Amino acid sequence: MLRDVGFTVPRGSVTGLLGPSGCGKTTLLRSITGVQVVAGGTVEVLGLPAGHRDLRSRVGYATQHPAVYADLTVTECLRYFATVLGAPASDVDRVLADVDLADRARNLVGSLSGGERGRAGLAVALLGRPELLVLDEPTVGLDPVLREDLWSLFHRLAAAGTTLLVSSHVMDEAARCDRLLLMRDGAILVDDTPDGLRAATGETDLERAFLRVIREAA
């Protein structure tokens, strides 16, 4: 359950939504993308109510459990979603390269490893060059090299004007973000930059900074 959550995500930035598993990150992301019923309050995305049909081509969403079809090849799956989203056919090759899956293009999605399937789900979210990317733990199960490549991609997208909201429970990814939202038990404890959090807590290590925030909030 989310409690008194309120924040604004700056355009053209990478905002990290961090916190332990079960703290409410996925529920919050589902509310932003309009697939979660909100019992109270309002959620506005790009000037429209969350879930508005005009946002379908403007918001990309990659879930923890990728919505890709196991009986299609990676290319076939991406072509299908490109058609649904009205994205150009050329986007398929672009997003395959972005997530480093070009060498798996002809493989069945069902034959991919968990990390590869996650990257296929991310590729779907990148189709059509959405203005906002909502990514639920996109680096889970990836080796350090692929994690580094994806974070480089996230910052290139942000530099080109895309807004990214990226959730993670891995605190070492906090330093890669322009801004941080730190959650615990359904509430946002911190909305600040990494340097701002360090200064506020007197800690140079962001994990220790987060732990200090939790202790002070208890």
Reduced 3-state DSSP string for the chain: CCCCCCCCCCCCCEEEEECCCCCCHHHHHHHHHCCCCCCCCCCEECCEECCCHHHCCCEEEECCCCCCCCCCEHHHHHHHHHHHHCCCCCHHHHHHHHCCCHHHCCCEHHHCCHHHHHHHHHHHHHCCCCCEEEEECCCCCCCHHHHHHHHHHHHHHHHCCCEEEEEECCHHHHHHCCEEEEEECCEEEEEECHHHHHHHHCCCCHHHHHHHHHHHHC
At which residue do the structure tokens 């909201």 appear? 165
pLDDT value of residue 57: 87
Per-domain residue ranges for the chain? 1-58+132-217, 67-129
Residues 14-44: tens digit of each pLDDT: 999 998 888 899 999 999 999 887 877 888 9
Q: Is the per-residue pLDDT at 65 higher than 90?
A: no
Q: Is the per-residue pLDDT at 66 higher than 90?
A: no
Looking at the domain 1-58+132-217, which fold is it? Rossmann fold (3.40.50)
Calculate the CA 37 to chain-centre distance.
Answer: 19
Percent of the chain exceeding pLDDT 70 equals 100
Angle in degrees, CA 211, 177, 154, rounded to 5: 145
pLDDT value of residue 77: 96
pLDDT value of residue 38: 80
Mean pLDDT of 170-195: 92
pLDDT value of residue 157: 92
Mean pLDDT of 119-126: 93
